[in-house]
């Protein structure tokens, strides 16, 4: 089954107001970087002229009057998309998507319209530009000027003179805050989303420890990869955690030269180039370089869903619960723009798929139903990610690994400090 990530680029001009097509399509740049080829398809109708460049493995249907592309994970979702009928209504498509447990981005180009759809959280990038003259869309936001992200959990239907966006996503789980229930949901998601052989981005913190521990207990063959400068906290904590849990660990010690070389490969593709983004993209890129198999597994999303950031504890004290709930929800809804595309693209450039079990539909739904007081506990101080720590406790993780607090990876790996020095000297 296919597990490698897909890539696409759409360049469409509406009839009667055609724009000159790009002489050097961005697809050529993509192909040169990835050392791969994309299928090139031209579609013509009375409404538009369109060129599509897409990974062959992700093309569900290709004909003179219809083009259907879907990038999805786990791979068994392909069968679901293959059953989608021609001229499917938006309401019928909603019903199909509501029953899916997985990550996906897809589009259907037909004679009269274009349909786009994304999973509940936006785990597979999809960006677009729309004007009265043209429509362009791509996996990579950086190759589109002033692009917008196609909203997660939505269906976008585009016609020549109009477009509309409708929400398909709604939570299917009505309970949250129950430690045993969250434990079972998390174990189920790790079982479904982590293949038999893969690599886990491993820092020794709770999020990656919990994922790796569950995966190893249910018989997955995982390699834990920890990245950091010599003497960094991540290398120290990951070695200790791997030893306590009997996990296979590879430590990658980085230096300035290695970081500079990595940044050259992804800087033109990640959506933003702030100090934090460069640091985290570097870390994930190096994990992908050392990946066994096609999948890089990450603990991404746990901080947003379960209240892991220090700023949440600070806002709780200064602004109160209601304000914090708004801040956390905004972070969750912006995940696809702030974190996911950056890390997904960093892996994609090496032909690896980026997978986040905490963002699976069932864990995501459960987290949204979990009360704030179960996420951030006010008792003799503030305990962040309280309910997730209780899950670790129930599963039998050593107390030391369950309750210790950890800095963000860009700091604890030492990578951001090196990149900061590089920027100052340039």
pLDDT value, residue 23: 45
Q: Domains in the chain, start-ordered, CATH in brackets?
A: 8-167 (3.60.20.10), 179-425 (3.40.50.620)
Q: What is the pLDDT of residues 110-121, one digit of tens each?
A: 988 999 999 999
CA gap 139, 325 in Å, rounded: 31
Model pLDDT, residue 16: 73
User: What whole-number distance in Å separates Cα of residue 214 and Cα of residue 137?
Assistant: 38
**Torsion 381-386-392-395 (CA) sign:** positive
How many Cβ atoms from other residues are within 10 Å of residue 224's Cβ?
28
279-317 CB burial, b ≥16 within 10 A, e <16 = bbbbbbbbbbbebebbbbbbbbbbbbbbbbbeebbebbe
Measure the CA–CA gap between 181 and 360, rounded to whole angstroms.
15
Q: What is the dihedral of CA 87, 91, 97, 99, to 10 degrees?
A: -120
CA contacts within 13 A on the Cβ side of 134: 19
Residue 404 confidence (pLDDT): 87
Query: pLDDT under 50 in the chain at which residues?
Result: 1, 21-23
pLDDT of residue 212: 97
Question: Which structure tokens are listed for 304?
Answer: 């947003």
Residue 255, class by beta-carbon neighbours within 10 Å (0-12 exposed, 13-18 middle, 19+ buried)?
exposed
pLDDT in the model for residue 19: 57
What integer pLDDT is reported at residue 172 of this predicted model?
A: 82
Q: How far apart are CA 302 and CA 283, in angstroms?
A: 18
Peptide bond just before 143 cis, omega within 30 deg: no
- What does the pLDDT read at residue 29? 56
Computed over every residue of the chain, the mean pLDDT equals 90
What is residue 388's predicted lDDT score, i.e. its pLDDT? 96
């Amino acid at each position: 089954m296919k597990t490698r990530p897909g890539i696409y680029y759409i360049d469409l001009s509406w009839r009667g107001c055609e724009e000159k097509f790009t002489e050097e399509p961005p697809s050529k740049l993509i192909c040169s970087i990835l050392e791969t080829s994309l299928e090139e398809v031209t579609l013509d109708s009375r409404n538009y002229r369109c060129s599509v460049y897409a990974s062959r493995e992700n093309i569900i249907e290709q004909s003179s009057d219809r083009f259907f592309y879907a990038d999805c994970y786990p791979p068994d979702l392909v069968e679901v998309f293959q059953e989608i009928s021609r001229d499917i209504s938006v309401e019928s498509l909603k019903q199909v998507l509501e029953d899916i447990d997985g990550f996906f981005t897809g589009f259907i180009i037909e004679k009269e319209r274009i349909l786009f759809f994304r999973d509940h959280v936006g785990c597979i990038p999809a960006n677009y530009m729309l004007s009265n003259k043209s429509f362009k869309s791509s996996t990579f936001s950086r190759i589109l000027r002033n692009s917008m992200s196609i909203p997660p959990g939505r269906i976008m239907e585009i016609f020549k003179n109009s477009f509309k966006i409708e929400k398909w996503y709604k939570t299917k789980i009505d309970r949250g805050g129950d430690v045993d229930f969250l434990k079972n949901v998390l174990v189920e998601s790790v079982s479904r989303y982590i293949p038999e052989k893969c690599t886990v981005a491993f820092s020794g913190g709770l999020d990656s420890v919990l994922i790796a521990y569950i995966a190893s207990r249910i018989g997955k063959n995982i390699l834990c990869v920890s990245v950091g400068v010599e003497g960094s906290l991540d290398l120290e904590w990951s070695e200790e955690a791997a030893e306590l849990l009997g996990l296979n660990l590879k430590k990658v010690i980085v230096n300035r030269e290695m970081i500079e070389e990595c940044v050259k490969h992804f800087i033109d593709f990640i959506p933003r180039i702030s100090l934090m983004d460069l640091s985290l993209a570097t870390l994930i890129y190096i994990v992908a370089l050392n990946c066994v198999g096609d999948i890089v597994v990450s603990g991404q999303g746990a901080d947003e869903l379960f209240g892991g950031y220090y700023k949440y504890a600070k806002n709780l004290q200064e602004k109160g619960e209601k304000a914090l709930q708004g801040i956390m929800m905004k972070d969750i809804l912006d995940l696809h723009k702030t974190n996911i595309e950056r890390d997904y693209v960093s892996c994609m450039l090496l032909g690896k798929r980026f997978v986040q079990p905490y963002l699976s539909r069932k864990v995501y739904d459960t987290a949204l139903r979990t009360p704030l007081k179960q996420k951030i506990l006010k008792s003799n101080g503030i305990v962040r990610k309280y309910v997730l720590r209780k899950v670790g406790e129930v599963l039998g993780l050593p107390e030391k690994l369950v309750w210790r607090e950890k800095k963000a990876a860009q700091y604890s790996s030492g990578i951001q400090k090196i990149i900061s020095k590089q920027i100052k000297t340039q």
